[in-house]
Structure 1
Amino acid sequence: MSERPIIAIAGLACENSTFTPSRTLAPAFHPRRGHEVIDKYAFLHPDTPLGTAADWRGTLIGHALPGGMVTRAAFEELVGDMIARLTAITAADRLDGLWFDIHGAMYVEGLEDIEAELLRRVRHVIGPDVIVSASMDLHGNVSRELAHQTDLITCYRMAPHEDVMETKERACRNLVDLLARQAKPLAGAALTRVRPIKAWVPIPILLPGEQTSTRVEPAKHIYAAVPEVEATDNVIDAAIWVGYAWADEPRSRAYVVVTGWDETAVTDGAERLAQIFWDAHEDFVFVAPTGSFSECLDIALKSKSRPYFISDSGDNPTAGGSGDVTWGLTKLLARPEFQQPSGPAVIYASVPGPEAIRIAVDAGVGATVTVTAGAEIDNLHAGPITMTGRVHSIKHGDKDAVTEVVLQVGSVFAILTKLRKPYHHEQDFTDLNLHPRSADIVIVKIGYLEPELYDMATDWMLALTPGGVDQDLQRLGHHRIRRPMWPFDKTFTTQPDLTARILPLSNEPLTGEDE
């Protein structure tokens, strides 16, 4: 038996909009199993401090591109595999810890509070004695049940998420450090675990990430307070979750969790962070100037800034949009300014169209084709779009898109894909013989610009377009979220209760009403 603690790794991560008609299937998670799990995380490789500090055992992890809800069959397939692997590990060795690698905004057909449900199933196999450390996206949701079942829990501190691996490494390091505090049981004695105190605070705010980017105020100073609280004596970790705005669930809202060894320290820290967040609730604004799609195009055309970026935000596939809404491209191609090849050069990313891809590939680069794409899944806002244009480029083998085609229609270079894909990197464009730095306008289905796009843009607007992740939340029709909730409710008759709830330890029962 290993002298090092044995730690299993498990988790499923996806952001699922309940307002997007698409469905997420098991292959979308690109599941990794066994040693493939360890390979994914450089900080756990055998030659690293964390890698040598424990005996890490991969079970199953999966990270899917955000989209519509996960089918029940897909969830049960993946979880069944995960549980079988966990069962095999626990049958052979005594498991000490589990790293629960999740997002926090997954939604599965017929189930509620899915990350808590997944951890319940995991706990059924590993038992109450195993220490669980969870890492999450700050756009996830931390229900009372999920926070209770974990012993350590943290999330990203940056949006855009430039600290993903740093956060996951912190979750693992905290877990290893906690296991090192455990006294070794005497022969024949029952195993006892030392567990930290958890202070949990729900905050009645539900905002999209495009209003809570840590690049700008007020989120910038709110998140700057997190490491200050973490540095307090007897505090292990502090975290703020913005929550996920496009899921109509009772758990959808903001949260604070602080863990540590002193009840006063974690309580004071959690309440401080929650109050800082609430005090700024009226100050959140979009991370970029906003307007209708038409207004954004008008301003971009008049501007001397090149390239001028526009976010087609309502169908952002990395927030949960289906990715095949044609509304934006339809409006773009109808504009007279872009009818001729000599017009302002515009790149548009993107619309899926498997049949359009087939026709363009068969015709080849340089051919003129007429194709129809989009709205196969989400036709709520516009129908399929038919275009005639020149095949500019073709690329095969993309992990997400599978095959990509660029069709030049007038002065618009429209990217078509077999399957939906996010466009976050300059290479995503240059691989298609597109040069965004030389374009006049670049339109991407995205919310806030990811770092490489942000660096390329000389100016930028966020178009408030329709789709499953509409930035105008009131247009979507939430009816299951808790009320009152900012910004759905502008008036609160009483101040929200931001007192810290000290949750029972994970091996103790959770009692009382859910909240």
Structure 2
Amino acid sequence: MPQDRTPLSRPVIAIAGLGIESSTFSPARTEAPAFHPQRGEEVLTRYPFLAAGEPLRAAADWRGALVGKSLPGGMATAAAFAELADDLVARLAAMPHLDGLWYDIHGAMSVEGIDDAEALLLDRIRTVIGPDVLVSTSMDLHGNVSRRLAHQSDLITCYRMAPHEDYLETKERAARNLVQLLESGAPRPVKAWVPVPVLLAGEQTSTRIEPAKSVYAAVEEVEATDGVIDAAIWVGYAWADEPRNRATVVVTGESEQAVAAGAERLARGFWDARRDFAFVAPTGTLDECLDAALGSTARPYLISDTGDNPTAGGAGDVTWGLTQVLARPEFRDPDGPIVIYASVPGPAAVDAAVRAGIGATVTVTAGAEVDDRHAGPITLTGVVHAVRHGDRDAETEVVLRVGSVYVILTRLRKPYHHEHDFTDLSLDPRGADIVLVKIGYLEPELFDLAADWKMALTPGGVDQDLVRLGHRRIRRPMFPFDPDMADPDLSARIIPASTAPLTGADE
């Protein structure tokens, strides 16, 4: 164990990281601009708890390097990763001596030709900041934690809620724990890492319901144990095919005995619950979900078009779901049940609708420019209902009324998670009969808005039927791919401090 360090009165801490949740089963590719990188002092504006006057801001000399976060999507191109990583590392290399680094990532970034991109980037960062700088890593619980990433991090934590209503709380915890460790002058913490051979979709592991609710409730109990600083369970990312993709537990603290016991408790709880995880909502085919909505009096009735969810890594331009909706005779009459469909990208279609103007009837073609495996481009004839410019993600949005269906078309793909995403387009989701959104579990505002909802198991790059996707590189056996596998070794692997060499396989 390294010697105690001298406590610091006001440590110098850099902030850096790249984040995306990227599906290797999508043909889409993500380029550097999608990360909207922020640099220097601009980085600090991302975090309300680092605003001027906040106690945590005053506790350290914070230095922004580069932080970039993209909407989930396809794999990052090798060129995009190289461009952003080179910039990030160069900015850290140009900084004066650092005491700490807050590494703010997602954990599910796939890059062309690279496995475990976040660990590779942290390796590069270590070459310029040195082995003695303390690193605190914050992640999404749908990220992946290889032994290599845990080794290079002194502190590591993730969200405890899905949906991620605690995302800012988690980031603040990562920053605060780093400051407290530096101020204390204590030795580097001990880390207990346990890989759990389970790979499930987020929609099957929502903390809104059991068993995830109880599995994650145990995290705070372990964290409260003497000798423990932080505890975390990662579900892992189901729509990428790398050896690191699986569930993981890491517990960090001063006591090797306490972190080992806590990690084994959490890992066993996750493993024992594996067969009880279920989708967070009733599921069915899209037709079954539409039939249920039409037969219900609950309004609005929300349906998740899950297979092309852009916030899980889908390309966002799969037209299969919209094609099925528009083929239904119930929606061909403008006086039929009001349906809102969000959304399909189509730059040319958007341009044509903008030129025509609100109230005009247009015929346009959209979608399937990236992912045409399930349906081709869709041609729509409808009335332009709304036009909106300036959205951060979509850039320009238009709404076409086709029969009784209000179809949202975008220049670039966009997730629709908030009520204002619809009302900004002169749409009334509360007054609609059916709101059909490309999403998985409903984000909080949509969940509160829905009178009832179902998840449609539709095709796409984030297909909820994981077994049929065709994983070939994950470590086997793995549940649910090998449902009758023997119980795994869930003993804690004690990871040495990042100054010590890493030995042994990344099991």
What TM-score results when the alignment is normalised by the length of structure 1?
0.96
Name the residue aligned to 2:4: none
Cα deviation per residue 1:437-473 (whole Å; 9 max; x = unaligned)? 0000000000000000000000000000000000001
Name the residue aligned to 1:266: 259
- Matched residues in 2 for 1:417 and 1:84: separation? 36
Query: Is 2:506 the partner of 1:514?
Result: yes
- Matched residues in 1 for 2:427 and 2:414: separation? 16
- RMSD of aligned alpha carbons: 0.8
Equivalent position to 1:24, from 19, 30, 42? 30
Give the paired residue count. Answer: 500
Name the residue aligned to 1:149: 152
**2:144, 2:237 within 8 Å by CA — same for their partners in 1?**
yes
Query: Is 2:39 the partner of 1:36?
Result: no
**2:9, 2:183 within 8 Å by CA — same for their partners in 1?**
no
Name the residue aligned to 2:12: 6
Residue identity opposite 1:72 in structure 2: A
Equivalent position to 1:68, from 71, 74, 81? 74
**2:235, 2:247 within 8 Å by CA — same for their partners in 1?**
yes
Show structure 2 runs of 5+ residues with no match.
1-7
Cα deviation per residue 1:382-424 (whole Å; 9 max; x = unaligned)? 0000010000000000000000000000000000000000000
- Matched residues in 2 for 1:112 and 1:381: separation? 28
Equivalent position to 1:340, from 333, 337, 347? 333
- Matched residues in 2 for 1:235 and 1:438: separation? 50
Give the C-alpha shift of residue 513 in structure 1: 2.0
Name the residue aligned to 1:189: none
Name the residue aligned to 2:165: 162
Give the C-alpha shift of residue 514 in structure 1: 2.3
Name the residue aligned to 2:220: 227
Give the C-alpha shift of residue 512 in structure 1: 1.4
Matches within 5 A, 1:64-143: 64-89=70-95, 93-143=96-146
Equivalent position to 1:349, from 327, 338, 342? 342
- Matched residues in 1 for 2:51 and 2:295: separation? 52
- Matched residues in 2 for 1:121 and 1:23: separation? 23
Give the C-alpha shift of residue 3 in structure 1: 5.2
Give the C-alpha shift of residue 94 in structure 1: 1.7
Matches within 5 A, 1:496-515: 496-515=488-507
- Matched residues in 1 for 2:247 and 2:85: separation? 27
Show structure 1 runs of 5+ residues with no match.
183-192
- Matched residues in 1 for 2:246 and 2:362: separation? 47
Matches within 5 A, 1:277-426: 277-426=270-419
Cα deviation per residue 1:152-180 (whole Å; 9 max; x = unaligned)? 00000000000000000000000000001
- Matched residues in 1 for 2:506 and 2:431: separation? 54
Residue identity opposite 2:110 in structure 1: Y
Residue identity opposite 1:164 in structure 2: Y
- Matched residues in 1 for 2:267 and 2:460: separation? 31
Matches within 5 A, 1:417-436: 417-436=410-429
Cα deviation per residue 1:34-54 (whole Å; 9 max; x = unaligned)? 010011111112311110110
**2:315, 2:371 within 8 Å by CA — same for their partners in 1?**
yes
Query: Is 2:501 the partner of 1:495?
Result: no
Name the residue aligned to 1:245: 238
- Matched residues in 2 for 1:273 and 1:87: separation? 38
Cα deviation per residue 1:107-132 (whole Å; 9 max; x = unaligned)? 01111101100100100100100000
Identity of aligned residues (%): 72
SS of equivalent to 1:69: strand
**Greater shift in the superposed pair: 41-50 or 317-326:** 41-50
- Matched residues in 2 for 1:198 and 1:474: separation? 32
What TM-score results when the alignment is normalised by the length of structure 2?
0.98
- Matched residues in 2 for 1:155 and 1:96: separation? 22
**Greater shift in the superposed pair: 473-482 or 311-320:** 473-482
Equivalent position to 1:254, from 242, 247, 267? 247
- Matched residues in 2 for 1:400 and 1:27: separation? 11
Residue identity opposite 1:510 in structure 2: L
Give the C-alpha shift of residue 81 in structure 1: 1.1
- Matched residues in 2 for 1:87 and 1:362: separation? 49
Residue identity opposite 2:496 in structure 1: P
Residue identity opposite 1:66 in structure 2: P
Cα deviation per residue 1:292-343 (whole Å; 9 max; x = unaligned)? 0010001100000000000000000000000000000000000000001010
Residue identity opposite 2:282 in structure 1: P
Name the residue aligned to 2:61: 55
- Matched residues in 2 for 1:104 and 1:40: separation? 18
Cα deviation per residue 1:54-90 (whole Å; 9 max; x = unaligned)? 000000000100000001111111111111110110x
- Matched residues in 2 for 1:67 and 1:314: separation? 13
